[in-house]
Chains A and B, each alone.
Chain A
Amino acid sequence: MTEVVLTPNTEIDIKIEADVIKPDEFAGKSKEEIEQLIVWQGPDQLPLKNFFDVKGQGGSSAEETSIVIKGDVARVKMIGAEMTAGKITIQGSTGLKVGAEMKGGEIVVEGDADSWAGTEMKGGLLHVKGNTVDHLGCAYRGSWKGMTGGRIVVDGNAQSQIGGGLTGGEIIVNGSAENFCGIRQSGGLIVIRGNAIRAIGAEMSGGTIVVEGHITNFTPGMQYEDEQYDLCFEDIECGGVFKKFTGDFAISKKPKGVLYAGKEANLEL
């Protein structure tokens, strides 16, 4: 795999949109060509080199290209959007929409990711080692379908609207979630290792949500089924005792959504 190293060389005031930072664009390009790739800053279109020092060149194909961003790029949006293959490593925090509509390959964010990480993702792996904000793996505003495939792993916390409109793929949050996790979910899997606040699985018609920790305000349209032990979804394991619910009966007469809540943390349910 050929490595391209990007080092931020300036303070960015107006946030930039850099969906060109992905192996698909870098593949087959020389250092100079990569430097000339266009990013948007407000109404202006500027070359990538205005914001990054580039080292190395693209591999023969996207699969053969690895991009390493050395440092914080919290003011850079859309890194890895629509990428199909290869790898991006961000050694810091990143801006909005990292890995949006990603189809394949791998993105590792060593710091935090801003909102809309992995929005409408279709394939590949997005691994955020820090925290994320809202709309993780969610559908775009007003859209029916969120993530349809691939996997998102967050080591820290994620906030509201995780996996909105999820139809496929997996989202695993090792920390806590806030509101409306899995809203309108019709497929796929969401695992929250920590706590959640409210409206978990609201309007869900299919798919699975696991919340191992405490749920503050439980969704009223959920119906208790039974208790289950040590859940296992292929390579994803959730140990312990869970209360199993189906829902959301507020929307459909025969909903196929399943919500598991950790028993120990939710004795009152």
Chain B
Amino acid sequence: MAATIAIKNGHVFDPLNEINGDIMDIYIKDGKVVPELSDAEMKDAKVVDATGKTVMPGGVDSHTHIAGAKVNSGRLMRPEDSYKWNRPKTSITHGGTGETVPSVYLEGYEYAQMGYTTAFEAAVPPLEARHTHEEMHSIPMLDMGGYLVLGNNWFMMRYLKEGDIDKAAAYVAWMMRTHKTYGIKCVNPAGVENWGWGKNVESLDETNIHFEITPREIIEGLTEVNEMLGIPMPVHLHANNLGHPGCYETTKESLTIPSKVKPNQDMGVEWAETKIDPTKDKSIYLTHLQFNAFGGTSWRDFESGVKDITDYVNSQDHVVIDSGSVPFGEATCMTGDGPSIHDIAVLTGGKWSNCDVELECGSGVCPFTYLKSNPVHSVQWAMGLESLLLIDDPWKTIMTTDNPNGGPFTKYPNVMTWLMSEAYRNETFSEVHKWANDRSTLGGVSRELSLYDIATITRATPAKTNGMAHRKGSLAVGADGDVTIYDIDPTRLDVTANYNDLLTKFRYADYTIKGGEIAAHNGEIMSIPERRTYYSDIKVDANEEKKMLEDVKDWFRYYTLGFENYPTPEKYLVNPTPINVNMEK
């Protein structure tokens, strides 16, 4: 049961309300932030003294891989990942294992320990949606949602090739509802389909086999459909040629495609009162910029191509990115981009798992270790930080590690500390291969992010980008009572001498409050709060939907399962919370 809670005298950082370290009290009642509590309510309220501490909205991770078929493959193929990373059960928590691909329960606990309360699984293959929801059902602590992978879907490719944008929209709407997913993910458009024949696409204007559609046409079509329907978030794009030296040019060109598409967010929700307009204003959300920004022509002349892209992002207003930072150490690469994972497996000789998801998409998994001694990995580390530091406006950047591709989410504290402290970056520069300095611009960057910036790139921007700012990412009246209290005194913060301190303070938040309940305190899980699964319930023209379904049923003969077994029923979701989209129809 959500308690009444008063958080007293904390230094509040709430970018959506332009509150920058002011000493304030935050009150929560019935799971929501309220302006004040009556004397009677105060008597029963739990009071948390946050004097000399940092108070932020609960963390929002808009790009992580913690549920679904490929995550589970990662767990299966990595027994060694569980071997040395295990946590015993307590009276209220399950035990758990795994550093880069933890077991489901541990994922929830570890996010909560860090102060995160919301996470979006960034790649749900439609056929695996049921499986994904089953796993999400067992992840405690977190409000969740998933993005549906549509960049190589046969129906999508066919409709877009035929130029039938209305049917494409009807299909997207039906698929979101059928699989209870939240937004559109587009992975290596047109390329993954070719991977079924051992091939890829090299440029945005190369057509793929059989469908003869280009990546450009798919990106154009999907972004258009997305805004036509008014889906809460922009299309989440994993660009072509990812992971290949020189891919930054493809990425930059991909970003120009939806520059004329007008963002449109058409949701029937109750909005929390924020000072800054919390509605979506971007038409494309580029994922893991670091992996999409490789420069050079081979691994020998490999260099960072981040600056070229960040210059473009700085000059435009339609792009938001997440970084895909690399914090060194163990990782597990997993993506819907099958060919890119095959390249990694060939490069490293690592274990490789690969899957073709029938008519829809594909995926691959390969364990990876980022080494400070490795020249390429060192540049990748620098590139992840460049992605966040070279873009001037924090409302265009989101901090991620593309968990667990660049590294596990448990290393977010390292990334946050590198961003805040030039001294910490310099210390790392002294430990890594010299390519990090020679082949990126990070060494010349003296920018240090403030706690306000950190609150922006880990709370406000992901919430706003995802269309969740109506309840997440702020401490506005009406917002969810999700609060993180870090034991960091902003008035005494010394990021030059004392940066090591930040690592533990970000890792184990002093308090993580979810919906008014104290979920974690100082690294210990205190309660298992209620959580929700969000999905987009999109209305479209009934006639259009009927025509589209005739096509779908016709083509279903190519599927290995029956049409009736395809949908994900609501019972697979924990507290299903539909967001009504495109209400007029």
Please report the C-alpha to C-alpha distance between residue A141 and residue B78 in the assembled complex, in whole angstroms.
Answer: 8
| Chain B residues in 8 Å Cβ range of A51 | none
Please report the C-alpha to C-alpha distance between residue A251 and residue B81 in the assembled complex, in whole angstroms.
Answer: 24
Task: Tell me if A142 counts as interface (CB < 8 A to partner B).
Answer: yes
Task: Tell me if A143 counts as interface (CB < 8 A to partner B).
Answer: yes
Judging by beta carbons under 8 Å apart, are A142 and B349 in contact? no
| Chain A residues in 8 Å Cβ range of B81 | 142
Chain B, range 48-84, C-beta contacts under 8 Å to A:
77-81, 83
Encode contact with B along A112-143: 1 for CB under 8 Å, 0 otherwise: 00000000000000000000000000011111
A-B Cβ contacts below 8 A, count: 18
Judging by beta carbons under 8 Å apart, are B349 and A140 in contact? no
| Chain A residues in 8 Å Cβ range of B79 | 140-142
Judging by beta carbons under 8 Å apart, are B78 and A251 in contact? no
State how many angstroms separate the Cβ of A162 from the closest Cβ of chain B.
19
| Chain A residues in 8 Å Cβ range of B78 | 142
Judging by beta carbons under 8 Å apart, are A251 and B80 in contact? no
State how many angstroms separate the Cβ of A56 from the closest Cβ of chain B.
32
Judging by beta carbons under 8 Å apart, are A251 and B83 in contact? no
- The residue of chain A having its C-beta at the shortest distance from the C-beta of B369 within the complex is A144
| Chain B residues in 8 Å Cβ range of A143 | 80, 83
Please report the C-alpha to C-alpha distance between residue A143 and residue B78 in the assembled complex, in whole angstroms.
Answer: 8
| Chain B residues in 8 Å Cβ range of A139 | 80
Chain B, range 354-375, C-beta contacts under 8 Å to A:
369
Task: Tell me if B351 counts as interface (CB < 8 A to partner A).
Answer: yes
Interface residues on A, range: under 10
State how many angstroms separate the Cβ of A247 from the closest Cβ of chain B.
15
Please report the C-alpha to C-alpha distance between residue A144 and residue B351 in the assembled complex, in whole angstroms.
Answer: 10
Interface size of B by CB at 8 A reads 9
Chain B, range 362-412, C-beta contacts under 8 Å to A:
369
Judging by beta carbons under 8 Å apart, are A251 and B351 in contact? no
- The residue of chain A having its C-beta at the shortest distance from the C-beta of B81 within the complex is A142
- The residue of chain B having its C-beta at the shortest distance from the C-beta of A252 within the complex is B349
- The residue of chain B having its C-beta at the shortest distance from the C-beta of A184 within the complex is B349
Chain B, range 224-280, C-beta contacts under 8 Å to A:
none
State how many angstroms separate the Cβ of A230 from the closest Cβ of chain B.
35
- The residue of chain B having its C-beta at the shortest distance from the C-beta of A141 within the complex is B79
| Chain B residues in 8 Å Cβ range of A140 | 79-80, 83
Interface residue SS majority, chain A? loop
| Chain A residues in 8 Å Cβ range of B369 | 144
State how many angstroms separate the Cβ of A165 from the closest Cβ of chain B.
10
State how many angstroms separate the Cβ of A248 from the closest Cβ of chain B.
12
Chain A, range 141-198, C-beta contacts under 8 Å to B:
141-144
- The residue of chain B having its C-beta at the shortest distance from the C-beta of A139 within the complex is B80
Chain B, range 73-97, C-beta contacts under 8 Å to A:
77-81, 83
| Chain B residues in 8 Å Cβ range of A141 | 79-80, 83
Judging by beta carbons under 8 Å apart, are A251 and B349 in contact? yes
State how many angstroms separate the Cβ of B231 from the closest Cβ of chain A.
40
Which residue among A140, A144, A251 has the maximum number of chain B CB atoms within 10 Å of its CB?
Answer: A144
Please report the C-alpha to C-alpha distance between residue A139 and residue B79 in the assembled complex, in whole angstroms.
Answer: 12
State how many angstroms separate the Cβ of B391 from the closest Cβ of chain A.
36
Please report the C-alpha to C-alpha distance between residue A99 and residue B79 in the assembled complex, in whole angstroms.
Answer: 21
Encode contact with A along B188-204: 1 for CB under 8 Å, 0 otherwise: 00000000000000000
State how many angstroms separate the Cβ of A47 from the closest Cβ of chain B.
19
| Chain A residues in 8 Å Cβ range of B351 | 142
State how many angstroms separate the Cβ of B65 from the closest Cβ of chain A.
19
Please report the C-alpha to C-alpha distance between residue A142 and residue B79 in the assembled complex, in whole angstroms.
Answer: 6
State how many angstroms separate the Cβ of A103 from the closest Cβ of chain B.
15
State how many angstroms separate the Cβ of B193 from the closest Cβ of chain A.
31
- The residue of chain A having its C-beta at the shortest distance from the C-beta of B84 within the complex is A140
| Chain B residues in 8 Å Cβ range of A144 | 80, 369
| Chain A residues in 8 Å Cβ range of B83 | 140-141, 143
Please report the C-alpha to C-alpha distance between residue A141 and residue B81 in the assembled complex, in whole angstroms.
Answer: 10
Please report the C-alpha to C-alpha distance between residue A140 and residue B84 in the assembled complex, in whole angstroms.
Answer: 11
Please report the C-alpha to C-alpha distance between residue A143 and residue B80 in the assembled complex, in whole angstroms.
Answer: 5
| Chain A residues in 8 Å Cβ range of B80 | 139-144
State how many angstroms separate the Cβ of B78 from the closest Cβ of chain A.
6
State how many angstroms separate the Cβ of A95 from the closest Cβ of chain B.
18
- The residue of chain A having its C-beta at the shortest distance from the C-beta of B76 within the complex is A142
Chain A, range 18-70, C-beta contacts under 8 Å to B:
none
Encode contact with B along A185-225: 1 for CB under 8 Å, 0 otherwise: 00000000000000000000000000000000000000000
- The residue of chain A having its C-beta at the shortest distance from the C-beta of B78 within the complex is A142
Please report the C-alpha to C-alpha distance between residue A171 and residue B81 in the assembled complex, in whole angstroms.
Answer: 26
- The residue of chain A having its C-beta at the shortest distance from the C-beta of B348 within the complex is A144
State how many angstroms separate the Cβ of A109 from the closest Cβ of chain B.
24
Which residue among A139, A142, A143, A144 has the maximum number of chain B CB atoms within 10 Å of its CB?
Answer: A142
State how many angstroms separate the Cβ of B453 from the closest Cβ of chain A.
38
- The residue of chain A having its C-beta at the shortest distance from the C-beta of B349 within the complex is A251
State how many angstroms separate the Cβ of A106 from the closest Cβ of chain B.
25
Please report the C-alpha to C-alpha distance between residue A251 and residue B346 in the assembled complex, in whole angstroms.
Answer: 11
Please report the C-alpha to C-alpha distance between residue A143 and residue B349 in the assembled complex, in whole angstroms.
Answer: 13
State how many angstroms separate the Cβ of A207 from the closest Cβ of chain B.
16
- The residue of chain A having its C-beta at the shortest distance from the C-beta of B350 within the complex is A144
State how many angstroms separate the Cβ of A78 from the closest Cβ of chain B.
13
Please report the C-alpha to C-alpha distance between residue A233 and residue B349 in the assembled complex, in whole angstroms.
Answer: 30
State how many angstroms separate the Cβ of A68 from the closest Cβ of chain B.
30
| Chain B residues in 8 Å Cβ range of A251 | 349
State how many angstroms separate the Cβ of A36 from the closest Cβ of chain B.
20
Chain A, range 240-267, C-beta contacts under 8 Å to B:
251
State how many angstroms separate the Cβ of B234 from the closest Cβ of chain A.
38
| Chain A residues in 8 Å Cβ range of B349 | 251
Please report the C-alpha to C-alpha distance between residue A142 and residue B80 in the assembled complex, in whole angstroms.
Answer: 5
State how many angstroms separate the Cβ of A258 from the closest Cβ of chain B.
19
Please report the C-alpha to C-alpha distance between residue A144 and residue B368 in the assembled complex, in whole angstroms.
Answer: 11
| Chain B residues in 8 Å Cβ range of A142 | 77-81, 351
| Chain A residues in 8 Å Cβ range of B77 | 142
Please report the C-alpha to C-alpha distance between residue A140 and residue B80 in the assembled complex, in whole angstroms.
Answer: 7
Please report the C-alpha to C-alpha distance between residue A139 and residue B78 in the assembled complex, in whole angstroms.
Answer: 13
Please report the C-alpha to C-alpha distance between residue A236 and residue B349 in the assembled complex, in whole angstroms.
Answer: 32
- The residue of chain B having its C-beta at the shortest distance from the C-beta of A101 within the complex is B84
State how many angstroms separate the Cβ of B19 from the closest Cβ of chain A.
48
Please report the C-alpha to C-alpha distance between residue A102 and residue B349 in the assembled complex, in whole angstroms.
Answer: 28
Please report the C-alpha to C-alpha distance between residue A144 and residue B83 in the assembled complex, in whole angstroms.
Answer: 13
Please report the C-alpha to C-alpha distance between residue A84 and residue B349 in the assembled complex, in whole angstroms.
Answer: 33
Please report the C-alpha to C-alpha distance between residue A251 and residue B79 in the assembled complex, in whole angstroms.
Answer: 23
Please report the C-alpha to C-alpha distance between residue A140 and residue B81 in the assembled complex, in whole angstroms.
Answer: 10
A-B contact pairs, 10 of them (CB 8 A): A139-B80, A140-B79, A140-B83, A141-B80, A142-B79, A142-B81, A142-B351, A143-B80, A143-B83, A144-B369
- If A142-B77, A251-B349 are given as contacts, then 16 extra A-B residue pairs at C-beta distance below 8 Å, sorted by A number, are A139-B80, A140-B79, A140-B80, A140-B83, A141-B79, A141-B80, A141-B83, A142-B78, A142-B79, A142-B80, A142-B81, A142-B351, A143-B80, A143-B83, A144-B80, A144-B369
Q: A-B pairs with the 7 shortest C-beta distances?
A: A143-B80, A142-B80, A142-B79, A141-B79, A140-B83, A140-B80, A142-B78
